[in-house]
């Protein structure tokens, strides 16, 4: 394993020190327990808080700032944060209008955030949670852990943050968040495995000509292993899975989010995005908003994910609202 690290056990802490140094105008970092919080905390409106394992940067700490998250709680690499960290972030960022926790549907995240929400409620804070489960690769059934929260999380955090910024009540921010969750769908593929620093070897074995179709954000499998194929065919396969699921239909206006899992360069990412735009146009689906880049990653894993969010006027205007965070910045 070659990585730019010192001690695997110190990776998250040392990375947070760099984040704090680079963006001291936007945020500050606490270390024990660890969380990232806006420099101007507590929030005047509803505090929008998220978190999860580290290794998905810029998710979530990179989205702390004006118009998006009020606090983010990083866990160890690929491991959800503990309840005391989440509770500390809630306490530090929540003002008089309560807090909305954005939780990805992973067992660990759900259990730890659930516990933290109970602790915060016991302190008298008005805390609600929404669980995002946009991954179409996983069967949604009461007999499984259910669909995972993946790329849609980025869009949800932006839109919920914008709703808070315009002064919405906790009820209203929660309602917007639930609307996004109802209308967003994603799928991911992996071309190679990531290496978790404290493990030191790749998380899974993938042959040179194999692709894992339907990965989660840790590179964990979801659907099937297929032979590598040209980008046209792969993007069509991915889009079909997403479009058929909601389903998205001709005439829909959508946001298309083409995401690198960390190791796929922009050359390939834009290539895939271009194909996706063309294929959506062929279906009569109008792409009116875009996001392209590495925003929810899986360490250095090669691969991409595609996320579609059906837009209405409200969601489009919340997406367009100014945002100023380390990783997303526009209009301000």
Partner 1 sequence: MSCEASDVAEAIRAAADVIARHRVELTDLDRPIGDADHGENMNRGFTAVLATLDTTAPTTPAGLLKVVATTLISKVGGAAGPLYGTAFLRAATSLGQESRLDSEGLVTALRAGLEGVVARGRAEVGDATMVDALSPAVEAAEAAKGEGIAAQLAAAADAADEGAQSTVPLVARKGRASYLGERSIGHLDPGARSTALLLRAFADAAR
| Residues near partner 1, by CB under 8 A | 33, 53, 75-84, 106-108, 111-112, 114-115, 137-139, 143-145, 148, 196, 198-199, 203-204, 216, 218-222
Instruction: Please tell me the total number of residues recorded for the chain in this structure.
Output: 332
The conformation of residue 41, written as its DSSP 8-state character, comes to P
Q: Residues 212-246, buried b or exposed e (16+ Cβ, 10 A)?
A: bbbbbbbbbbbbeebeeeeeeebbbebbebbbebb
Q: Which of 23, 60, 70, 218 is catalytic?
A: 218
Which SS3 state, helix, strand or coil, does residue 65 take?
coil
Nearer Cβ to partner 1, position 134 or 165?
Answer: 134
Spatial distance between the Cα atoms of 152 and 156, rounded to a whole number of angstroms: 6
Using CA atoms of 261, 262, 265, 270 in order, give the dihedral in degrees to the nearest 10: 40
Nearer Cβ to partner 1, position 225 or 329?
Answer: 225
Nearer Cβ to partner 1, position 213 or 319?
Answer: 213
- Write down the least CB distance from residue 81 to partner 1, Å: 6
Spatial distance between the Cα atoms of 253 and 47, rounded to a whole number of angstroms: 29
The conformation of residue 47, written as its DSSP 8-state character, comes to E
Largest CA-CA distance found in the chain, in angstroms, rounded: 55
- Write down the least CB distance from residue 303 to partner 1, Å: 15
**66 included as an active-site residue:** no
Query: What does the DSSP assignment read for 137-180?
Result: TS---TTSS-PPP-THHHHHHHHHHHHHHTT--HHHHHHHHHHH
- Write down the least CB distance from residue 87 to partner 1, Å: 10
Nearer Cβ to partner 1, position 90 or 269?
Answer: 90
Cα–Cα distances (Å) from 95 to 40, 45, 89, 152, 161, in that order, read 11, 7, 12, 26, 15
- Write down the least CB distance from residue 109 to partner 1, Å: 9
Nearer Cβ to partner 1, position 238 or 272?
Answer: 238
Spatial distance between the Cα atoms of 136 and 128, rounded to a whole number of angstroms: 25
Place of tokens 């954005």: 102
Q: Which of 23, 56, 60, 70 is catalytic?
A: 56
- Write down the least CB distance from residue 50 to partner 1, Å: 15
- Write down the least CB distance from residue 36 to partner 1, Å: 16
The conformation of residue 197, written as its DSSP 8-state character, comes to T
Nearer Cβ to partner 1, position 25 or 32?
Answer: 32
| Closest to 191 measured CA to CA, from 204, 172, 182, 178 | 204
What's the gap between Cα 43 and its chain centre? 21
Active site residues: 56, 218
């Amino acid at each position: 394993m070659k990585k730019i690290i010192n001690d695997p056990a110190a990776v998250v802490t040392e990375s947070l020190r760099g984040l704090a140094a680079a963006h001291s105008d936007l945020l500050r970092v606490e270390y024990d327990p660890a969380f990232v919080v806006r420099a101007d905390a507590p929030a005047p409106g509803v505090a929008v808080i998220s978190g999860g394992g580290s290794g998905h940067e810029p998710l979530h700490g990179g989205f702390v700032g004006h118009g998006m998250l009020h606090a983010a709680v990083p866990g160890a690499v690929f491991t959800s944060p503990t309840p005391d960290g989440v509770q500390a972030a809630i306490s530090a960022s929540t003002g008089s209008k309560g807090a909305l926790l954005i939780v990805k549907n992973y067992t660990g995240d759900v259990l730890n955030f659930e516990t933290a929400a109970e602790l915060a409620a016991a302190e008298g804070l008005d805390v609600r949670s929404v669980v995002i489960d946009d991954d179409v690769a996983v069967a949604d059934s009461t007999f499984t852990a259910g669909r995972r929260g993946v790329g849609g999380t980025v869009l949800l955090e932006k839109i919920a943050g914008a709703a808070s910024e315009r002064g919405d009540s906790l009820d209203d921010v929660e309602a917007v968040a639930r609307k996004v969750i109802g209308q967003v769908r994603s799928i991911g593929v992996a071309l190679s495995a990531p290496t978790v620093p404290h493990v030191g070897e790749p998380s899974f074995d993938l042959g040179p000509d194999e692709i894992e179709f339907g990965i989660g954000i840790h590179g964990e499998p979801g659907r099937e292993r297929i032979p590598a194929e040209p980008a046209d065919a792969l993007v069509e396969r991915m889009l079909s899975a997403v479009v058929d699921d909601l389903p998205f239909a001709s005439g829909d206006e959508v946001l298309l989010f083409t995401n690198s899992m960390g190791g796929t360069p922009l050359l390939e990412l834009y290539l895939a995005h271009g194909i996706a735009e063309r294929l959506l146009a062929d279906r009569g689906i109008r792409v009116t908003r875009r996001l392209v880049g590495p925003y929810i990653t899986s360490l250095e894993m090669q691969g991409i994910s595609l996320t579609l969010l059906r837009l209405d006027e409200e969601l489009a205007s919340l997406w367009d609202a100014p945002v100023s965070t380390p990783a997303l910045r526009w209009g301000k």
